[in-house]
């Protein structure tokens, strides 16, 4: 397979309602969407970095920069064919980090290969589920009544677990109220690194609410202190931000820093490293689930396909387009039924991009890169 042309777009999607986490409140979602042309066909892929470096260091602009000035010129320069995903990653290894940028190239490769072999992406990955269980991630609200209202709507739609975002001052009380009103439903809390070890008492109090897990309570780059916290609380800790590589997952599992891992394929650099982390966790009896980054239907379809692998044992943050957006960039997207997202059965990614809508939602002009141009190589 040879890459021939890339069209990079900065796309802005309006959220149906603001989404707030401990690191910020957002009303729009900025995404990098790429159309990839190759000798075996074309496809679309997504790099779901945020527009601000508040979740990890990547941003919409850093993603465009790293793709345009480093990763894509290297791919266009390459004379040999790339026929294996490991080779593709070797071609990108010279760039350190920037996993979300890399994930858009990794997923494009999988979309092209699965389509050219007439297989749905999930089947190409070796998954054999027809549907995957999903939960919803509910943002911080202005008051608890609004959160209870959102919880009720989500349960009525069938979501199999409720995750609420917490931060100091918005933790015990919202959880207590949800338990009181909705009883024994699966609930978890995601702190996005809003606490330190000084809050051990608070986490011990949270043990009383029987949460499925607590996600990333401590530092975004910490693993060790999570192991100290895990040994003092009953609630399973789930790591998100601090697992960026296979080495991070290995360390976390070995030192018992968590009992669950949230795999975001974008955060770890794509489907290939995500599967490696999935396998390590499986060997160590650590269940995983697919996290989300408020992706378009492109990214959510990738997460769906990945979640058909056997160690995805807990509901993922996966949803149809209308969970976050008035207008997504697809003409047909994912479908939610009985708390499950149906695994697309079409070949390749399995959702259809509406190119007119993509054009309408593009900020500025697309950047087109084709053929190797030595002037592109600035390093
Ligand atoms: O921590 O899981 C997170 C969104 C943006 C950045 C970080 C996170 C999230 C979510 C959204 O929780 C989950 C989703 O896409 O449904
Ligand atoms: Mg999280």
Instruction: Using the predicted structure, report yes or no on whether residue 376 has a pLDDT greater than 70.
Output: no
Q: Which CATH architecture has domain 123-353?
A: Alpha-Beta Barrel (3.20)
Atom of ligand 1 nearest to the CA of 190: 1
Half-sphere exposure of 274 (CA within 13 A, CB side): 33
Residues 299, 305 contacting (CB under 8 angstroms): no
pLDDT in tens, 168-204: 999 999 999 999 999 999 999 999 999 999 999 999 9
pLDDT in tens, 257-308: 999 999 999 999 999 999 999 999 999 999 999 999 999 999 999 999 999 9
> By C-alpha distance, which of 5, 8, 4 is closest to 364?
8
Ligand nearest to the CA of 26: 1
What CA–CA distance (Å, rounded) separates 83 from 88? 8
pLDDT of residue 374: 73
pLDDT in tens, 212-223: 999 999 999 999
What CA–CA distance (Å, rounded) separates 76 from 296? 27
Where does the pLDDT of residue 377 fall: very low under 50, low under 70, confident under 90, or very high at 90 and above? low
CATH class, 3-118+354-376 region: alpha beta
Q: Which residues line ligand 1 (CB under 6 A)?
A: 55, 137, 190, 192, 240, 291-294, 317, 319
Sketch the domain layout of the chain as residue ranges.
3-118+354-376, 123-353
Q: Is 375 helix (H, G, I), strand (E, B) or coil?
A: helix
pLDDT in tens, 91-112: 999 999 999 999 999 999 999 9
pLDDT of residue 199: 98
264 tagged catalytic:
yes
Half-sphere exposure of 51 (CA within 13 A, CB side): 13
Burial (CB < 10 A; 0-12, 13-18, 19+), residue 356, is exposed
327 tagged catalytic:
no
Token reading at 272 = 């290939």
Ligand nearest to the CA of 54: 1
pTM (predicted TM-score):
0.97
Instruction: Using the predicted structure, report yes or no on whether residue 347 has a pLDDT greater than 90.
Output: yes
What CA–CA distance (Å, rounded) separates 235 from 265? 25
Mean pLDDT taken over the chain: 97
- C-alpha 219 to ligand 2 mean position (Å): 12
Distances (CA, A) of 358 to 61, 111, 251, 304, 320: 18, 18, 41, 22, 17
Q: What φ, ψ does residue 8 adopt, rounded to 5°?
A: -100, 130
């Amino acid at each position: 397979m040879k890459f021939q042309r890339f069209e990079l777009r900065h796309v802005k999607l309006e959220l149906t309602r603001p989404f707030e986490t401990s690191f910020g409140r957002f009303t729009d979602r900025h995404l990098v969407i790429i159309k990839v042309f190759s000798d075996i066909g074309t496809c679309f892929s997504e790099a779901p970095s945020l527009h601000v470096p508040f979740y990890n260091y990547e941003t919409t602009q850093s993603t465009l920069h790293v793709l345009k000035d480093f990763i894509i010129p290297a791919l266009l320069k390459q004379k040999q064919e790339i026929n294996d995903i490991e080779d593709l990653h070797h071609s990108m290894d010279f760039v350190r980090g920037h996993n979300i940028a890399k994930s858009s190239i990794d997923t494009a490769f999988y979309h092209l290969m699965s389509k050219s072999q007439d297989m749905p992406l999930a089947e190409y990955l070796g998954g054999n589920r027809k549907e995957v269980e999903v939960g919803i991630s509910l943002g911080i609200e202005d008051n608890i009544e609004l959160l209870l209202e959102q919880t009720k709507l989500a349960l009525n739609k069938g979501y199999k677990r409720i995750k609420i975002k917490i931060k100091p001052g918005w933790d015990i009380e919202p959880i207590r109220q949800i338990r009181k009103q909705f009883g024994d439903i699966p609930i978890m809390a995601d702190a996005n690194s809003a606490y330190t070890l000084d809050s051990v008492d608070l986490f011990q109090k949270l043990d009383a609410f029987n949460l499925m897990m607590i996600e990333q309570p401590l530092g975004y780059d910490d693993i060790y202190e999570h192991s100290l916290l895990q040994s003092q609380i009953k609630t399973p800790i789930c790591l998100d931000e601090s697992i960026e590589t296979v080495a991070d997952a290995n360390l976390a599992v070995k030192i018992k820093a968590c009992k669950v891992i949230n795999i975001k394929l974008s955060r770890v650099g794509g489907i290939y490293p995500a599967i490696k982390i999935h396998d390590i966790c499986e060997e160590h009896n650590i269940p995983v689930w697919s996290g989300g980054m408020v992706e378009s239907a492109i990214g959510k379809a990738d997460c769906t396909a990945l979640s058909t692998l056997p160690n995805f044992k807990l509901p993922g943050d996966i949803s149809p387009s209308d969970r976050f957006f008035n207008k997504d960039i697809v003409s047909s997207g994912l479908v939610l039924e009985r708390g499950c997202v149906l695994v697309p059965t079409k070949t390749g990614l399995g959702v259809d991009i509406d190119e007119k809508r993509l054009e309408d939602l593009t900020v500025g002009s697309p950047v087109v890169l084709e053929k190797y141009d030595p002037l592109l190589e600035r390093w």
